[in-house]
Amino acid sequence: MAGFDLPVKLRRGLGKGNIVPAEELAQRLKPYDGDGDGALTRGELARFLEESHVGGPWFTGMLAATLWKLAENRFQKAVESIQADALGRVLNFVMARAPGPERRYVLSPEAINGYEPLRTLEGGDPYSSKQAPLVNAPAAAPTAPGVPARPRASAPGPRPEPSRAAPSPAARAVVRRPGPRPRT
């Protein structure tokens, strides 16, 4: 699946590849204001984005819902509508962001199954400082003063075989495979 970059998608849909000024976006949003109060509801914003070819009905609805959740979290109350000028500034701000870096990864069965970290195609020595960082490398967890740090997971590679000691008679009685019980 191709990567998703919201600023690029907004620039393509709203500005034909260019960043649209906030004032122009606000003017484009005003015809979608159903009650004429200068503010758009979530459905009206989704309809504007869909008719501007930003995405389909599902995507534009999800984008509008995400924007509404952010506004409700910011103001700590339910938001019924947002002013067209404010929506124009938000869309302009998102459009102006630089696109994310294109990342391509070396996929191996071990990396896909999580036995080794994903590595980017920049290649070279895996332990070189010039290579891009590992994608799913575990981060060191901070510890409280006086608490010993937990041992880190071992480096990727072959795992040691578990010991094959015979289980105790008590363990044999408790541990069994799932399925029907044997007849006695």
Write out the chain's pLDDT in tens, 184 residues.
345 788 888 998 998 889 999 999 999 999 999 888 989 999 999 999 999 999 899 999 999 999 999 989 988 999 899 999 999 999 999 999 887 666 777 878 888 788 888 787 776 444 444 444 545 544 555 555 555 555 555 556 666 666 666 656 555 555 566 777 777 7
Q: CA nearest 46: which of 91, 1, 96?
A: 91
pLDDT for the residue 5 = 81
pLDDT for the residue 166 = 62
The position carrying tokens 């907004």 is 10
Cα–Cα distance list, 151 to 59, 100, 111, 143, 174 (Å):
43, 34, 23, 12, 31
d(CA 125, CA 108): 17
Domains, the chain, with CATH or none:
6-96 (1.10.238)
- Say if pTM beats, i.e. exceeds, 0.85: no
pLDDT for the residue 142 = 52
Q: E strands within 108-165?
A: 119-120
pLDDT for the residue 114 = 82
Q: Is 4 exposed, middle or buried (0-12, 13-18, 19+ CB in 10 A)?
A: exposed
What angle, 0 to 180 degrees and rounded to 10, lies between the N-to-C axes of helices 84-96 and 22-29?
130
pLDDT for the residue 124 = 42
**83 phi/psi in degrees, rounded to 5:** -60, 145
pLDDT for the residue 171 = 53
For 119, the token pair is 């590595």
pLDDT for the residue 120 = 79
8 Å CB contact between 97 and 105:
no
Question: What is the 8-class DSSP label of residue 18?
Answer: S
